[in-house]
Amino acid sequence: MSSWRTKVLPPLLAIVFALLLSAIALIISGADPLTAYGTMVGQLFKGSTAVDTVNLATVYYLAGLAVAIGFQMNLFNIGVEGQYRFAAVTAAIAGGALDLPPVIHTVVILLVALVAGAAYAAIPAILKVTRGVSEVISTIMLNSIVGGIVAFLINPDMFGVLTGNNLATKPIAPSGHVPGIPLGSATLFGFVVIAALIGVGYWFMLNRTRFGFELKASGESPTAAAAGGVNAKKMALVAMLVSGAVAGLIAMPELLGRDYNYGITSTQMYGFTGIAVALLGRNHPGGIALGALLWAFLDKSAVSLEQIHVSKEIATIMQGIIVLSVVVAYEVVRRADLAAEQRRVGRALAGNGRKGSSVAEGGAV
Amino acid sequence: MSTSESPAEAAPDRGVPAVELTGITKRFPGVVANSDVNLTVARGEVHALCGENGAGKSTLMKILYGMQQPDEGSIAINGEPVKLRNPQDAIKAGIGMVHQHFMLADNLTVGENVFLGAENLHGIGRAARARLAKLAERTGLRAAPDTLLEELGVADRQRVEIVKVLYRGAKIIILDEPTAVLVPQEVDALFDTVRAMQAEDYTFLFISHKLDEVRAIADTVTVIRRGTTVGTADPKTITSRQLAEMMVGSELPSPETRESTVTDRDVLRLKDIRLSVEGSERNILDDISLTVHAGEVLGIAGVEGNGQTELVETIMGMRKATGGTIELVEHDGVAHDLTKLGTLARREAGIGYIAEDRTRHSLLLTQPLWTNRILGYQSRKPVSNGQLLDIAAVREDTRRIVEEYDVRTPGIDVPAAALSGGNQQKLIVGRELSGEPVLLVASHPTRGVDVGAQALIWEQIRQARADGLAVVLVSADLDELIGLSDTIRVMLRGRLVSSADPATVTPQELGSAMTGAGAEESEKDTDAEGGATE
């Protein structure tokens, strides 16, 4: 099995490496790296930054999980972005239009979001399975289409409401909200709990269910999976739909915990961040959580850099370097570890009666 | 490089040998691919290297071409000892290799393909073109240098490959199964070219397992078997029969396995199975009908690429037959039609599967052994209760397999990739014999495994057969086929062409039937082996 080294060492190395490289970028831009890093960490304890970081990390976590489900079988669902925005606008419209008792109202909105996300992911999934269209291409195009769909649906002629200058869906009644947890001056999204439960569910699915095994097997070796009776087309279809369904929840923490409507100013790009977070977390539910927290921290504390006259884009540079280093570091450590494992097995079996000198019987390689 | 300009006639034993391999041994984890190989190739001769698939020919040629380094032994080119660390070293030493699968870019022209990577020899201008024209004439390549490669036929592509190695200054040319892709007329033309070039002092190493071709072109033939050279002969004096005997060996496994356990209860029935692929007129499988009984091992003999792989994958449902039916008969005699079922349903019906390439089809290499136990059994006890996996039971059962099948491993948590080939295969055999299969489909079950593992795997198959298991055995190892099988069918070009009784057949007879030697029909079938996939 992979040792603690394979799991912990690569991200640590990558973060240290990223800090060093970013320091160079900071020095070039004329700032003192230590002051800059100190300011960023210090910002975490000011005002509501810590709670904001966790709130944003909740969103990133869901995005990371959605992407990771596809990654497990080498499906590159770039369309998480489109799927979550489609689900968000659909769920916001449904939530605003419905009048239901508390809890039930929330559950219905979440179900609508799940189904809408899966439905939008069904398009690339069906195209891939029936026509062999690459999911990368089709989801990128669907991402671009979703902007038009959102604009169309929140038009006042359709379901939109014009409030001041802002065009958005009809607000969801309090019965549909997910109550927050007040912490000091800020409020923690109640959705944090739901996201954690989804993370546990993802772990269980991956490690304890037949579906999870078939998903991993298809990703590791499509040929071995096929010989083992895994239906590749069915897996691609189901993985894409599940990925889309989870993507459908990405906007829910903000929709049901803060904004209560979805409009043209609602934040975008969470789906793309999810790709980076899933890469950082190596598709592991715990890793994705750490990746999401790190990413959210960099996003939230970057604003503090402007106080010391450092461009906050330095945080973006750091994020980029971290992802690249993590990918490289994992691969390096993985190879070293496999070689070490082979040597270890060889040593453990040395003198165990294996003759190396006998002629290979039909030994082809 | 070589010196003398005197045209070389077919006469070995003159002067310094062009290639001399001494005591070459190459080990891979758990496998010895070459063991103490000695090979001497005289200058200016066509030297054939013969042997069954998996005998170690390709490993040896990879060593000579610098793609792999030998663990022991030495290489001398034109009398000078050399170390070939990579193909560049080999090219510098004057060795060129024409691969069986061409290494050419379809979207480049003939000229570009030849010059690519060798620009520093003659540039890409007039000098290069003049050199190319000269070599094209020598090899009979008639295509203009500006023709796109994709417009050329197979024979011309091969000539481009030959020109490519000549352009890089090769005087010793390795032809790796060059006739496998050619029709007979093209083979004749190739041989004419080879003879003409031989007269210009080029040396050829010709790899083949087609005896008639070897006899037609070679001056000397060296036979390699089970990783080592068994002898060198003059093809003019040796008979095909003697050559076949050298290739497949003549010792047979002990006959004690011969007591028949065959019953008259059908287990697997194939009827008129056909498999065709788009873009090929010839069916890969053509009207295959066979029946396997409980307690019977049905051996399928054949030179690789004649449809055995496809037959196995069709039985397993990994390929969909174009026509025909596949039935599995239950204990109570009720036939279960598998034709429309997927692989998992067929496995659930009671088929175990030992795939030909274990790393591609039987294992998840980076996953621990116990995870590999799940593969193919994810829907059944003890692995799962429907949708949920029972990890404790899986681990328990993996420990049982490790114990019963003598898988040498420090534990069940090591990744499959860390085990040697033989131990990987023992794990697979153990897995596929779990879950009470009624039929085992075994493709080259002992390929690339060490002697100890081979004996154990054979023993397990014999035991299961005695318990009433039906087995379809595909193997290139004739000793294995004859030793284990109750019935042998020979496969040639997608058809079952003949049967043999393993109690009386000799490896030589089987070898002749497989290679089509003596059977003239193979000469007439112009499609060669081109339609078969890897």
> What are the residue ranges spanned by the domains of chain B?
7-248, 263-350+439-520, 359-436
- Considering only the top CATH level, what class is B263-350+439-520? alpha beta
All residues of chain B having their beta carbon less than 8 Å from the beta carbon of residue A355 are: 450-452
Return the pLDDT at A361.
Answer: 32
Q: What is the distance of C-alpha A332 from the center of its chain?
A: 23
B245-270 mean pLDDT = 68
Compare all CA atoms of chain A with the CA of B71 and give the residue at the minimum distance.
Answer: A357
Q: What average pLDDT does this structure show over B395-417? A: 88
CATH number for the region B7-248 comes to: 3.40.50.300
Average pLDDT of every residue of chain B:
81
pLDDT at B385 > cutoff 90:
no
Residue type, B453: A
Q: Do B7-248 and B263-350+439-520 have matching folds?
A: yes
Q: Which residues of B touch A363 (CB under 8 A)?
A: 28, 31-33, 54, 56, 226-227, 447-450
pLDDT tens sequence across B172-226: 999 888 876 666 677 888 888 889 888 888 999 988 767 778 888 889 999 887 7
What tokens does B255 get? 């006959």
Question: Is the pTM value of this prediction over 0.95?
Answer: no
User: pLDDT truncated to tens, each residue of chain A (365 aa)?
Assistant: 445 666 777 778 888 888 898 899 889 888 888 988 898 898 888 888 899 999 999 999 999 999 999 999 889 999 999 999 999 999 999 999 988 998 999 999 999 999 999 999 999 999 999 998 999 999 999 999 999 999 999 888 888 888 777 888 889 999 989 888 888 788 899 999 999 999 999 999 999 999 999 999 998 888 999 999 998 889 999 999 999 999 999 999 999 998 899 988 788 899 999 999 998 888 899 999 999 999 999 999 888 888 888 888 888 888 888 888 888 888 888 778 777 777 777 666 654 433 333 333 333 32
Q: How far is the alpha carbon of A296 from chain B, nearest alpha carbon, in Å?
A: 32
Does the beta-carbon distance from A224 to B361 stay under 8 Å?
yes
Contacts of A73 in chain B (CB under 8 A): none
> In chain A, what are the helix, strand and coil shares in percent, each to the nearest 5?
70, 5, 25
- CA proximity to A85, closest of A122, A107, A117: A117
Chain B: closest CA distance from residue A65 (Å):
21
Whether B521 shows a pLDDT value over 60: the answer reads no
SS3 B419: coil
User: pLDDT at position B351, please?
Assistant: 92
In chain B, whose CA is at the least distance from the CA of A226?
A: B318
B342, B371, B418 ranked by CB distance to A342: nearest: B418
Q: pLDDT over 90 for what percent of chain B? A: 17
Give the closest-approach CA distance of A72 to chain B in angstroms. Answer: 14
Identify the pLDDT of residue B92.
87
**Partners of residue B207 on adjacent β-strands:** B49, B176
Task: Label residue B527 by pLDDT band (50, 70, 90).
Answer: very low
- pLDDT class of B250 with cuts at 50, 70, 90: low
Mean pLDDT calculated for residue range B286-303: 89
The band of B532, judged by pLDDT with boundaries at 50, 70 and 90, is very low
The pLDDT value recorded for residue B279 is 62
The CATH classification number of A56-308 equals: 1.10.3470
Q: Could you write out the DSSP letters of every residue in B379-410?
A: TSTTTEETTEE-HHHHHHHHHHHHHHTT---S
Q: What are the b/e assignments for B58-91, b being 16+ CB within 10 Å? A: bbbbbbbbbebebeebebbbbeeebebeebeebb
ω into residue A179 within 30 of 0, thus cis? no
A346–B417 C-beta distance less than 8 A: no
Place of tokens 């461009």: A311
* Radius of gyration of the CA atoms of chain B, in A: 25
Extract the tokens encoding B374.
Answer: 């799940």
Spatial neighbors of A262 by CB under 8 A, at least 6 apart, are A88, A89, A91, A92, A150, A154, A168, A169, A251, A255
Q: Which residue of B54, B391, B451 is in closest CB contact with A358?
A: B451
Q: Does B88 touch chain A (CB under 8 A)?
A: no
Whether ipTM > 0.85 holds is no
The tokens 């339609």 sit on which residue?
B531
Search chain B and give the residue with CA nearest A230: B344
pLDDT of residue A6: 67
Name residue B224's beta-bridge partners: B229
Supply A202's token pair: 């993802």
Contact B367 A216 (CB under 8 A): yes
If phi over 0 gives left and psi between -120 and 50 gives alpha, with beta otherwise, what is residue A119?
A: alpha
Give dist(CA A207, CA A216) in Å, integer: 9
At residue B261, the pLDDT reads 79
To 10 degrees, the CA torsion angle through B429, B431, B433, B438? -120
Pick from B266, B268, B269, B230: which is nearest to B246 by CA? B230
The SS3 call for residue A8 is helix
Find the CB nearest B59 among A1, A230, A365.
Answer: A365
Q: Where are the beta strands (DSSP E) in A119-180?
A: 160-163, 166-169
Greatest mean pLDDT among A45-49, B231-235, B467-471 lies in B467-471
B409 or B361, greater pLDDT: B361
**DSSP 8-state symbol, A263:** B
Does the CB of B353 have a partner CB in chain A at under 8 Å? yes
Cα B359 from Cα A364, distance rounded (Å): 13
* Domain assignments of chain A as residue spans, ordered by start: 1-31+312-344, 56-308
Q: What is the pLDDT of residue A115?
A: 97
Tell me which of A245 and B247 has the higher pLDDT.
A245
pLDDT recorded at residue B87: 87
Angstrom distances, CA of residue B242 to CA of A17, B237, B505, B506 = 66, 10, 16, 12
- Reported as a pLDDT band with limits 50, 70 and 90, residue B493 is confident
B495-504: pLDDT as tens digits: 888 888 888 8
What are the tokens at A43? 């910002």
The pLDDT confidence band at residue B248, using thresholds 50, 70 and 90, is low
The span from the first CA to the last CA of chain B, in angstroms, equals: 37
- Please name the amino acid found at residue B173: I
Report yes or no: B386 at the A interface, CB cutoff 8 Å: yes
Nearest CA-CA partner of B510 in B300, B286, B285: B300
Q: Does B23 touch chain A (CB under 8 A)?
A: no
